[in-house]
Structure 1
Amino acid sequence: MNEDFTYRKNALFPQRYISPKKLFIFLQENYGDYISEVGSSTLHQPIFKFSFGTGKLRIAAWSQMHGNESTATLAMLDLLYSIEQDRKLKLELENQISLDFIFMLNPDGSEKWTRRNALDIDLNRDFNQESSLEIKILKQLIETGNYDYALNLHDQRTIFTTDGIHPATLSFLSPSENIEREITQTRKKSMAIIAFIYNRLDIKLKNQIGRYSDEFYPNSVGDNLMKMGIPTILFEGGHFQNDYIRNETRKFYTIALYYAISGMIELKDSTENFETYFEIPENRETHFDVIYRNVKLNTDFHCILDVAIQFREEYKGGDEIEFTPIVVEVGDLGKKKGWKEIDCTGKFFKSEKKFPKLNEIQNFEII
């Protein structure tokens, strides 16, 4: 496979928020020969499978299992658009892979920008119970598809870094098969693909690729697919400095998807260089979105502290999500950092209350 992949953005989807209706109309109008309806959500929205290629290498993938994690959907749209502009690459991929991709597994949650589905079920903790229609659809696909690999695609919060300084813009995981986190042959195959991605992407995204925790979750999708013998690669799209709309993350996510597919083609079930997986730094939880330093409160005693803000992503209608500042911590935050830090020394804390209230919307100004 040619590693000189040219990224192109699908300009029809410029925001993080994706209306399910808009997505489905787009797929029907532009990829009608590639899609099929594989079921319906709790609220009777269609769920589509996109099938690409006739090759021997079989890959299953899905996006927006969690409705408020849209980067993978956008990256897949960008990947398809990029491939369409390179006829030679498209033909090469069509001949080597058979990809089944479920766009927006959780359309009800996606429409409202919520992690869970319409019944408040976390689909990624429903593999065994099968309480949701959506997980039944995914399992039906997996159990009948005879897949060589699976791509479990997610987003992660802005709190993660690779080293306490650089954001974990992309993180990867080879899920565990058991509580002992044994390094099985299936895990090695998954690790080899992640190592393949890392070796090619680290140059472009230096110090911003992390390794997600491999704690075993007995009811999660990835861990159970690994137990079934399907090497599964979990993607997590994270923060990029000053880019809460995640345009940069989206670009690198797309490139990583391309490298993942390239690695599957090239390695052909091999575990070559899987050890490189352990060179990827583990995610560290080190940052808040904003920290106000040295805030002097309007109390009747001397009180100076730090206030941490985390943006809550909300969909209130329209074309894009909104970012609501929430107070998530107060006190001595010397061991934490903020993507934005504001020194309030000598400034005035203006608020109707004497102090900021935890887990409530920011109700103060610093003037």
Structure 2
Amino acid sequence: MKQIRFDAFGPPSHAARCCEVPAPGDPSAWEVLVDVEACAINPADLAKLAGRYGERPKLPATLGLEAAGRIVACGASVRDLAVGDRVILIGNDNWCQQRRVAASTVLKVAPELDPLQLAALKVGACTALELVRRHAVLERGSWIVQTAPLSSVGRAVMQIARHDGLRTLNIVRRPDAVDEVKAAGGDVALVDGPHMVKAAKAVMHGAPAMLALDAVGGDGVARLAPLLERGGTIVNYGMLSGRPIELGCDEVIFGGVELKGFWLTHRLSRMTLAQRNTLVAEAVELLRRGVLSAEIAALYPLDAIGNALRHTDEPGRRGKVFLLPNGPIARLSTSPGNVAPAHL
């Protein structure tokens, strides 16, 4: 069986390697065996390979935060799952051809849903749901300010916000991203810089936001604070710039701005099984209704992991890069993002 492993931290495309390992074997009573159909590659996967993630695994290690697949065997005590069921794998370490996991760590989904879209729900959509719907009570018409709107989380934020009747003010770092953000459903897109705050306030017409979402860090965070109401919240969930967050003491003391961090892995670990399944099922339902859709950049086999990781790390990349551990998969012709280059 093929599996992606790494023996040392370093540049992701050099650290990861495709290995032949023993097959996981038959499931025990409460387990299922899953053929992994698709895995999405996320910035957190790259951070883990580089040794910059919140948890440093004991080496050698495997990785892969999200995946979708089909059950090929069930343990004798498993009652609510059957061979052939399509599932989302909730646990980690999914970059391999097969997983033998506890039945409680998969979620059954409708067979007609696109496996690529399903494989991108856990990180992007679930993070976006937690950010948009759990951190502040937002009335219809309220603004959400965000950086990194073209990331998987940022796109999901725009999609969920539009569905919930909220407006997004999206801060980008390059002028050519403005039209792309608007095409992706953002209400307003502005290029960051010294004049951004004035332009943003003019667009918001005196209706400051209660919530700002940041995945970049650096000095741009300080420019989010003036766009918030007193007592507003900035939630940082990413470190794309690689720089420390800058936020003025006056904004915190006199403006009452609160800065929080959000880490999905930690959040999921504190949920009950029912809460976790409810969150993922919420994302699946929004996918089924056409609210959520991840843009697809490219598809790679496991043994092209170096190329896949280099593609993921390209500046200006549009859409997510996926691994197909067991080769090409059947997709509906109407699947969102169906036009994607294949590297198989």
TM range (shorter): under 0.3
Please identify the structure whose Cα radius of gyration is greater.
1
The TM-score normalised by the length of structure 1 is 0.26
